[in-house]
Amino acid sequence: MKTVTILLPCLNEAETIRTCVLKAFSSLSHPDITGEVLVADNGSNDGSQAIALSAGARVINVTQIGYGAALKAGIQESKSEYIVMGDADDSYALDDISDFLKCLDSGFELVMGNRFKGGIKPGAMPFLHRYLGNPVLSFIGRLIFRVKINDFHCGLRGFRRQSILALNLTSTGMEFASEMIVKASLNGLRITEVPTVLSPDGRNRKPHLKTWRDGWRHLIFLLTASPRWLFIYPGILLATIGLVGVILTSSGPFNLGNLQIDLNSFYVSIGLILAGSQTILFGVLARISASNIGILPKTNNLNMLMRIFTLERGILIGVGFLLVSVIALMQLLGHWDGNSLGGIDREFALRLSGIIVLTSSFGFQLLFASFLASILKTK
């Protein structure tokens, strides 16, 4: 006998909440299931709570506003082994959750609905969501987190309660949907998806979802949950372009067809190297911090990085770059003195000055980043 909670977050859904509760109960009528319909009400003022109670649901009042806040409270309140969550607007097939339960029974810990495979009825999803928002954000999620989910934002999903509680989900808004998948993937939970049908919702008012605001919040969450893609990969790209530019122009003008690349490009390349290296260091520090405070899990790569990127090594390498800059400065002064403090080769002086700026700036970056990394590692 398995225990199942069908969890419905609710905010002013008087038009549809009774239908949703009754459909949910029809899914719990199997003899092998014992369960409840739990409505996490988020401050409704249209009588949704009373309607849900009259239909047989258990209702909890969640004072913290937000889709994620309501779901977190409902997950905490449930005592069932399995939870199936769905919207209370009568757009999801709450009376047909058997595929979700079968996957959970077979060992999966998170089972996502896929509306694109199950079918989207006419008028059920706005054009922008169907052909731009959902596909693009789902693609970004698959690319960054390597999870084979094609509908990141389906509101109908089932999961093992203890597995999701262990993820320590923190989002209170719509981005809670993305956080659940991302953290489940990062923590190695078994994830799959099943087709589900999306129907037009049964209410006459506008939906709570705000296309651009909530889409932006989903995108920001996906990026901030992956310092590699937000910081490290862009930093590597910038630093690589800068390094190639410095190599090509360090000894003099470089001809690219009819275009001559010279000192201006040399200094721009130095700027790209410094911007890229600083961005990479931001990524390393962000990853260490996120791991230490429990936002992201520790990985083998991170553990190896933390063993390599020690305070002592960072100080030694940073001081090493500072010494290089001092040596280069001495060479520049020696060249000037060798010319009796008079004329000095302008091209030589400018390029050597650029190297001094590069090595000294990077030395200071690495030196202070090492101290900050040491602080962030401290519990």
- The pLDDT of residue 56 is 95
Q: Could you give all domains of the chain from N- to C-terminal order, each with its CATH number? A: 2-224 (3.90.550.10), 227-377 (no CATH)
- The pLDDT of residue 340 is 47
Contacts of residue 370, Cβ cutoff 8 Å, sequence gap at least 6: 309, 310, 311, 313, 314, 315, 318
- Which residue in this structure is represented by tokens 């203890």? 162
This prediction has a pTM of 0.78
- The pLDDT of residue 262 is 77
Task: Please give the backbone phi and psi of residue 55, each rounded to the nearest 5 degrees, phi first.
Answer: -85, -5
Two tokens at 239?
């630093």
- Measured CA to CA, the distance from residue 71 to residue 69 in angstroms comes to 6
- The pLDDT of residue 203 is 78
- The distance from CA 90 to its chain's CA centroid, rounded to whole angstroms, is 29
- The pLDDT of residue 259 is 67
- The pLDDT of residue 322 is 93
- The pLDDT of residue 67 is 93
**Cα three-residue angle 124-128-132, rounded to 5 degrees:** 115
- The distance from CA 106 to its chain's CA centroid, rounded to whole angstroms, is 28
Q: Give tens-digit pLDDT for 25-77.
A: 999 988 889 999 999 999 999 999 999 999 999 999 999 999 999 999 999 99
For the chain, list residues with pLDDT below 70: 208-209, 211, 257-260, 293, 334-345, 379
- The pLDDT of residue 341 is 44
Query: Could you report how far apart the first and last alpha carbons of the chain are, in Å?
Result: 43
- Measured CA to CA, the distance from residue 209 to residue 189 in angstroms comes to 28
3-state secondary structure the chain: CEEEEEEEEECCCCCCHHHHHHHHHHHCCCCCEEEEEEEEECCCCCCHHHHHHHCCCEEEECCCCCHHHHHHHHHHHCCCCEEEECCCCCCECCCCCHHHHHHHHCCCCEEEEEHHHHCECCCCCCHHHHHHHHHHHHHHHHHHHCCCCCCCCCCCEEEEHHHHHCCCCCCCCCCHHHHHHHHHHHCCCCEEEEECCECCCCCCCCCCCCHHHHHHHHHHHHHHCCHHHHHHHHHHHHHHHHHHHHHHHCCCCEEECCEEECHHHHHHHHHHHHHHHHHHHHHHHHHHHHHHCCCCCCCHHHHHHHHHCCHHHHHHHHHHHHHHHHHHHHHHHHHHHHCCCCCCCHHHHHHHHHHHHHHHHHHHHHHHHHHHHHHHHCC
- The pLDDT of residue 51 is 96
Two tokens at 69?
């806040």
- Measured CA to CA, the distance from residue 2 to residue 134 in angstroms comes to 33
